[in-house]
Amino acid sequence: MGGTDQVRSTRRSPATTNGGDMWQNPEGAPKNLASDAIINLDHGDPTMYVPFWKSIGDKCTVVFKGYESLSYFSNPKNPCWFLEPKLEESIKRLHGAVGNAVTDGYSIVVGTGSSQLLQAVLYAVTSHDQANPINVVSAAPYYSSYPEIMDLVKSGLYKWGGDAHGFDKDEPYVELVTSPNNPNGVIRGAVVNRGGILVHDLAYYWPQYTPITSSLDFDVMLFTASKCTGHAGSRIGWALVKDQEVAKKMTKYMEVTTIGVSKESQLRVAKILQVVADGCKRFGSPDGDNFFEFGQKMMAKRWEILRETVKKTQMFTLPKFALQHCTYFGELTQAYPAFAWIKCKEGIEDCEKLFRGHKILTRSGRRFGSDPAFVRGSSLYIMRQHSGWSFISAGAPRNKGL
């Protein structure tokens, strides 16, 4: 999941001057980096994919006529009656081409991003006649917006229960399993393992971020276009749900809260996923139309720069990822997570404060239920060079507070 925290803590652009002039317009050409610029690596705004989508021209263009998409309904026979058939077809086709999730035997529920779907799942899987809200837990470091999502409306159905590692209550629970994990990119499984309800947040289980090792078949699996293709602005997520009754209850939640999901957004994303699926098997194509190949190369370069930066400064450590056989690429590959989970070496207690002092915005480990010696930094922004990490490297004093 990558949605709700992206605009919460600061509304600065990826790199801004104190006067507010943006250094890099995600849609246009870069400008010179001013001496007083602030480099914002706090958000997960996936604008790094702009060059790819520009390169394919009008392949994803969708035209809507004034008389189209007036009805609330898309397919009344579907449990998720507002799911556009073209989007359903594209989702199934893409998962089949990538091999990251089973769709046969699953209902698909579409939502306004995966954050809305998460609340729909919790509505669907909790008992509405329970005396107390059920605890929702996730293993630290967990996605920083989980606590806020759980407690925002003070629901009588569920509440944030904290770190799954410390959950020892003999009562029902829901465990959120984020894999690859946001913030540290690690592939994870359930922690509590006492018969609770599991919800798998798989926003980053795509080949540009991690080796695809199997086609997953968990009970509830959440995905989002934001991190799959970079189209965060379309606000489309989808859930693969094994139990049709759960899917129906999720649909009821969406019906009451938003009466469905924008058809224009659904049809735009349907076309985008179709284009991605079409290019999936064209490895090394001279047309450069394999989106995941493009994405992995870009992420690999950014991580190369980041690891070189860490080596030069000798102030930080990064997670290490073993080579694994990726069934999509058909070879040994390494994880290149969307975020870097950086730890300051001994003697630096507040890593986020250290970066902020050098005009680099990151997110403190505290927000993820972890230690303030950690920060999360994004690798998803479009930048003039390969990523914001280039600028850290260029201006980083060795062994002196960055």
Tens digit of pLDDT for each residue in 49-73?
999 999 999 999 999 999 999 999 9
Residue 35: the pLDDT is 66
- 270 lies in a domain? yes
pLDDT score of 39: 87
Residue 36 CB neighbour total at 10 angstroms: 10
C-alpha count within 13 angstroms, C-beta hemisphere, residue 251: 21
pTM confidence score: 0.90
pLDDT of 81 strictly over 90: yes
* Parent domain of 26: 4-56+288-394
Average pLDDT over residues 171-176: 97
Q: How many domains does the chain have?
A: 2
Strands 324-326, 360-361: parallel, antiparallel or unpaired by DSSP? unpaired
Whether residue 400 lies inside any domain: the answer is no
- Which tokens sit at 346? 């001994």
Assign 128 a pLDDT band (cuts: 50, 70, 90): confident
Q: What is the DSSP letter of 345?
A: P
- What's the average model confidence in pLDDT over 74-83? 96
Q: What value does the mean pLDDT take over residues 157-168?
A: 97
Evaluate if residue 274 carries a pLDDT over 60. yes
Residue at token pair 């009466």: 259
Query: Is 264 found in the same domain as 293?
Result: no
Q: Pick the closest to residue 204 from 362, 60, 330, 321 (CA basis).
A: 321
Rounded CA-CA distance 104/218 in Å is 12
**Does residue 310 share a domain with residue 244?**
no
| Lowest model confidence (mean pLDDT) among 3-7, 291-295, 381-385 | 3-7
Q: Please give the structure tokens belonging to residue 308.
A: 């070189």
In a domain, 218, yes or no: yes
Decide if pLDDT at 381 tops 90: no
Same domain, 213 and 359: no
**What is the tens place of the pLDDT at every residue in 188-217?**
999 999 999 999 999 999 999 999 999 999
More confident residue, 44 or 322: 322
Name the residue among 203, 200, 291 with its Cα closest to residue 241: 200
In the structure, what pLDDT confidence band is assigned to residue 261 with cuts at 50, 70 and 90?
very high
Q: Identify whether the C-beta of residue 188 lies closer than 8 Å to the C-beta of residue 178.
A: yes
Q: What is the CATH number of the domain that holds 263?
A: 3.40.640.10
Q: What is the pLDDT of residue 13?
A: 46
Residues 333-363: pLDDT tens digits? Answer: 999 999 999 999 888 999 999 999 989 999 9
- 2-29 pLDDT, tens digit each: 654 544 444 444 444 333 333 344 444 4
Mean pLDDT in residue range 143-170: 96
Q: Quote the CA–CA distance of 365 and 368 in Å, as a whole number.
A: 5
Side chain identity at 402, as an amino acid letter? L
* Residues 330 and 275 grouped into a single domain: no
Last residue of a domain, one of 279, 309, 336: 279
Asked whether residue 65 is assigned to any structural domain, the reply reads no
Strand partners, 26: none
Q: How confident is the model at residue 33 (pLDDT cuts 50, 70, 90)?
A: low
**Based on the domain organization, do 162 and 261 belong to the same domain?**
yes
The whole-chain average pLDDT of the chain stands at 89
377 and 328 inside one domain: yes
Same domain, 269 and 316: no
| Residue 108 β-bridge partners | 240
User: Is residue 115 domain-shared with residue 18, that is, in the same domain?
Assistant: no
Look at residues 267, 263, 220 and name the one whose alpha carbon lies nearest to residue 239: 220
61-75 b/e (C-beta count within 10 Å ≥ 16 → b): eeeeeeeeeeeeebe
Beta strands in 210-328, from DSSP E residues, in sequence order: 220-224, 237-241, 316-317, 324-326
Share of the chain above pLDDT 70, in %: 86
123 belongs to a structural domain = yes
Q: Give the residue from 251, 279, 307 where a domain finishes.
A: 279
Average pLDDT over residues 78-101: 98
Q: What is the CATH number for 380?
A: 3.90.1150.10
* Same structural domain, 240 and 173: yes
d(CA 337, CA 322) in angstroms, rounded, equals: 13
Is residue 219 one of the residues assigned to a domain? yes
Helix (H, G, I), strand (E, B) or coil at 165: helix
Give the phi and the psi of residue 87 in degrees, each rounded to 5.
Answer: -70, -45
Give tens-digit pLDDT for 311-322. 988 899 999 999
Distance, CA of 382 to CA of 379 (rounded, Å): 9
Final residue belonging to a domain, choices 212, 245, 279 = 279
Are 315 and 380 in a shared domain? yes
Place of tokens 């690429």: 329
Quote the crossing angle between the two packed helices 263-279 and 291-313, to the nearest 10°: 90
Question: Does 255 share its domain with 274?
Answer: yes
Judge if 256 and 160 occupy the same domain.
yes
Model confidence at 77, pLDDT cuts 50, 70, 90, reads very high
Give a yes or no: residue 68 inside a domain. no
Residue 221 falls inside a structural domain: yes
